[in-house]
Structure 1
Amino acid sequence: MSENKNNLESLNKIDLFFQLFNDMSDLVYLTKVGKDGQFSYVLANEPAQNFSGLTSKSFGKPIEEVLPEEVFHIIEEKYKQAITARESITYEDRIVVPPSYSNRLNNKYSPGQFVYWESTITPLWNQEEECTHLLAVVRDVTERKERENELKRMNDRFELVWNSTADAMYTFDRHQNFVSVNKSFINLLGWTEGEILNDWTISIIPKNSKDDLKEIIKRVKSGEVVPSHEVQRITKEGKLIDVLASYSPIYDGNGNWDGAVVVYKDISERKKYEDQLKHHALHDYLTGMPNRNFFSIMLKEEMTRAEKSKRTLAVFYLDIDKFKVINDTLGHDIGDELLKEFSRRVKACIREKDLLARIGGDEFGILITNLHDKKKSIEIAERILSSFRNNWVIEGHHLKVASSIGISFYSDPYKQDEKLLLKQADIALYKAKGNGRGNYQVY
């Protein structure tokens, strides 16, 4: 009774094995390795039989007799490779579904569609170290490969956009280390991708912008997208460039902050143009000196500084004596050249920190700042007048040029504003002219 029970249990186990064996979705083949090196199928589960078109008559025959020739050559090569390697090998195949195979694949795929298979071949050895059998497990990985291919296509499209955009872009991780840069970043800042990703000592942030960046990182960590704002960044050559920067947070698979993507739009040309416009708005087109607007702005600022420092501020108002006669006699071109030379000579006589401006026509203004003693301004006025005594040769014309200077001092913040200070210097100028020209007068 006990023996029959054991036999029954053995039969049940075999039945269970074959039930599981045939229920597997993977294709499973057990192949015998003959003494002559021929391969023949010994066992195959139902999915494998259906797919390969095997019948009971197929087992025991050389596989070249039961498989299409092109399939046989591929399998034979892989079998021999596994035996030579003495270990399992895994490889992938891609086939185009022929019309006759559609039903073998349970009509899961259409004729002409690509199907991907992953095969693992394991050699089995006897005690004499002879390979007697090969176990092949073939798995349909089409869905996985299609997902991988779609992901690759998405990555390729992203890479194309990433490297085609005109704006410089990069990503950094939670430790603020560079993770990736696009081609525009490399072109704009000069570092190669290898340099910027592998050398953590490289910094593109100027020292005076580091606190600003800390505040930005704080905002990005909290999930905020920081919109475009003007900043400066350092190129590999050490040049400062102006960019519009924007920051967007990046999260990991668990939803934790994992860095950011940064976009830089190069606005160097725009800033250059804006600076040129600003310069033209505040400078005289002929002499290149500051104009009346700039002079007025600086006069207000210097009056405030003088009041705080308790030091003296002097304003000079000067022009070229009888300039109209020269201009009308020799022409405007000569007059223009005279104005340029006049501004150069005056500029050479004042201190570097003082300001010379063309107020209009042949009229100029000078701010003499941070004076401990009014006598210093008198010395400067005398130096200017002395410089005019040297020969003037303008476009081949030998001229005698003189100037009158009016001087006012900022001494009473309760009564004097910038307009009154200029008016007082102007009054002193006309007093100098009334005294014979070529001299200075203090209001």
Structure 2
Amino acid sequence: MVEKYSLEILDRPDLFYQLINNMTDLVFLTKVNPDKSLSYVILNKPAKDLYGLTNESFGKPIQEVLPKNAYHIVRSKYEEAMENKKPIKYEDMVTVSHLPQSSNKEVIYWESTITPVFNQDGECTHLLAIVRNLTEQREKENEIQRIKDRLELVWNSVADAMFTFDKNQNIVSVNRSFEKLLGWTAEDLVKDKSIIFVPEGEKEDLSKIIERVKSGETVTNHEVKRITKSGEIIYFLGSFSPLYNQNGDWDGGVVAYKDITERKKYEDMLKQLALHDPLTGLPNRTYFSQSLKIEMDKAKCSKTLLSVFVLDIDHFKNINDTYGHDIGDEVLKEFVERVKSALRKNDIMARIGGDEFVILVPDLKEKTNVIEIAERIKQCLSSVWQVGITRFQITSSIGIAFYDYPFNLDDKVLFKYADLALYEVKVEGRNNYKIYEDIGTG
């Protein structure tokens, strides 16, 4: 039945032309003439419409009916098919005008399949060309490529360091800012699966963030530290976003790092200024009070001994009045350096006023330890001082109080007791130290 129907089609040219004219593909049947010239035998309607051909075009050499540029391409491909004696396929781009002398031109992309037809003597008598219009497909592909190019331009133009990773947490790509700020290339990181730019202490935090990203969460403004290829630490605000494949399944993530290293330095500087004395570099009263409360809690929990020293420079006002504040400032700085040399590593010295200082002495094994420290302070101050061309003999008065069992003092009372002991030293003539317990209970 099928064969009979097929034969009927061949016997009915009108039906045959109806079929090929309804095809969206272009059909060209070209005759190879004895002189090797080429002329069209059959063209379907889409093929005619492409170059504006008519029935009068049949039988003429194709160079007379085709645009010059199109003819050269067609001729070379037809010759290639005849020489190879088998079908060939190629793609081409053609610019056409719908109206003569029109500047409105259209670019059309074609995929052509040319099949040579041979007679019994092995001579090529005809060439069948089926041409498919790929313009819509190529335009979509070109648009996708344009979008990719734009995204790549943005990707490599942003100041933030960025990278992507796959669902196995392997690095896929990094942008230029990442390479510039951190020094690592994508090739470096693909080879090294340890995520070498993340410090060991931050890797657990990163794993927790990735688990959140896996669940579809976007994590923003997360402060992190990262290591450059040269070993420098950089502070970033990180934003972590999930990526999905075409099925909607989690497929990795993209990370953006905003460099906040300078901001961190500025914040640290502000903290330094807020909690430290700008002249001597010592902690100030606020820092000392915070540290004292912390150490008092530790001492109470561990049942250990703690002490506070309050000290000042004897007759410091006379130095300022006689020699000026510049010399006075130098004396203060020298005083700090000498006293610090007498302290233990964990002791904290702070400046709380003009020439007023406090010392926090934690983790004492016994009360006699403070006497050793006080004696060392007296000793380190005893040698003659030289500030510029001026020589001084500097002494200090020291009041000491203990925080020990039953640990029922607060920080203000403890400080008050040390200050009362200092007052007693001044009453008795200065240049000495006294423990609050030795002057009574109040």
Q: Structure 1 length normalisation: TM-score?
A: 0.89
| 2:242 aligns with one of 249, 256, 269 | 249
In structure 2, distance between residues paired with 1:375 and 1:69: 110
1:321 corresponding residue in structure 2 = 314
8 A Cα contact 2:70 2:94, kept in partner: no
> 72-81 vs 267-276, which deviates more?
72-81
Task: Please point out which of 156, 161, 164 is paired with 1:163.
Answer: 156
1:12 is matched with which residue?
Answer: 9
Corresponding residue SS for 1:153:
helix
What are the Cα deviations for residues 378-430 of structure 1, in whole angstroms up to 9, with x where unaligned? 11111111011222111121111111111111114543111111111111122
Structure 1 residue 292 displacement after superposition: 0.9
8 Å Cα contact 2:91-2:109 kept in structure 1: no
For residue 288 of structure 2, give the secondary structure of its aligned residue in structure 1. Answer: helix
Within 5 Å, which residues of 2 pair with 1:217-366? 217-366=210-359
Say which is worse superposed, 115-124 or 210-219, in terms of deviation. Answer: 115-124
Residue type matched to 1:11 in 2? E
Does the CA-based 8 Å contact 1:94-1:115 persist in structure 2? yes
- Contact kept, 8 Å, 1:97 with 1:114, in 2: the verdict is no
Query: Which residue of 2 is the match for residue 399 of structure 1?
Result: 392
Q: Which residue of 2 aligns with 1:89?
A: 89
AA of the residue aligned to 1:67: L
| CA distance in 1 between partners of 2:77 and 2:139 (Å) | 24
Partner secondary structure for residue 239 of structure 2: strand
Q: How does 1:210-221 map to 2 (within 5 A)?
A: 210-221=203-214
Pairing of 1:10-159 with structure 2 (within 5 A)? 10-15=7-12, 18-33=17-32, 36-56=35-55, 58-83=57-82, 88-100=88-100, 111-124=104-117, 132-159=125-152
The 10-residue stretch of structure 1 (432-441 or 197-206) with the greater mean CA deviation from structure 2: 197-206
Once the 2 structures are TM-superposed, how far is the Cα of residue 333 of structure 1 from its aligned partner?
Answer: 0.2
Distance 2:142 2:64 in 1: 36
SS in 1 for 2:361: strand
Tell me the alpha carbon deviations over residues 28-87 of structure 1, each in whole angstroms, 9 at most, x when there is no partner: 223344565433334333322343444555444432233233321222223334455665
Using the alignment, how far apart are the partners of 2:75 and 2:191 within structure 1?
46
Contact 1:234 1:241 in 2 (8 A): yes
**For residues 313 and 35 of structure 1, do their structure 2 counterparts lie closer, same or farther at Cα, with a shift above 3 Å needed?**
farther
Residue identity opposite 2:307 in structure 1: A
Single out whichever of 171-180 and 35-44 deviates more from structure 2.
Answer: 35-44
Higher mean alpha-carbon deviation, 333-342 vs 130-139, is at 130-139
Aligned residues: 432
Unaligned runs of 5+ residues in structure 2 are 437-442
Does 125-134 or 35-44 show the bigger shift?
125-134
Deviation at 1:158, TM superposition (A): 2.2
Report SS of the residue matched to 2:281. Answer: coil
With over 3 angstroms needed to count, the CA separation of the structure-2 counterparts of 1:54 and 1:326, relative to structure 1, is closer
| 1:179 and 1:197 in contact (8 A); partners too | yes
Equivalent residue letter for 1:94: V
* Cα shift at 1:290: 0.6
Unaligned 5+ runs, structure 1: 1-5, 103-109
Q: TM-score with structure 2 length normalisation?
A: 0.89
What's the offset of the Cα at 1:14?
A: 5.0
In 1, Cα distance between the equivalents of 2:352 and 2:188?
53
Residue 382 of structure 1, aligned match among 375, 379, 393: 375
**Is residue 2:175 matched to residue 1:176?**
no
Check whether the contact 1:97–1:115 (CA below 8 A) recurs between aligned residues.
no
Cα separation, partners in 2 of 1:128 and 1:256, compared to 1, 3 Å: farther
Identical columns (%): 55
In structure 2, how many angstroms separate the alpha carbons of the residues matched to 1:66 and 1:323?
A: 111
CA 1:50–1:326 in structure 2 vs 1: closer, same or farther (change >3 Å)? closer
Q: Distance in 1 between matches of 2:126 and 2:193?
A: 55
Shift of 1:11: 3.1
Structure 1 residue aligned with 2:363: 370
Q: Is the 8 A contact 1:242 1:271 kept in 2?
A: yes
Q: How many angstroms apart in 2 are the aligned matches of 1:363 and 1:176?
A: 57
| Alpha-carbon offset, residue 13 of structure 1 | 4.5
Structure 1 CA distance, aligned partners of 2:109 and 2:277?
76
SS, match of residue 350 in structure 1: coil
The match for 2:440 is none
CA contact (8 A) 2:277 2:283 kept: yes
Question: CA offset at residue 129 of structure 1?
Answer: 6.6
CA RMSD in angstroms comes to 2.7
Task: Give the distance between the partners of 1:134 and 1:181, measured in 2 at CA.
Answer: 52
Return the alpha-carbon distance in structure 2 between the equivalents of residues 355 and 331 of structure 1: 29
Does the Cα contact within 8 Å between 1:312 and 1:410 map onto a contact in 2? yes
Relative to structure 1, the CA distance from residue 99 to residue 212 in structure 2 (aligned partners, 3 Å threshold; closer, same or farther) is same
CA offsets per residue over residues 203-228 of structure 1, 9 Å max, x none? 33322323322332222222222232
Q: What amino acid does structure 2 have at the position aligned with 1:386?
A: Q
2:88 aligned partner, one-letter code: S
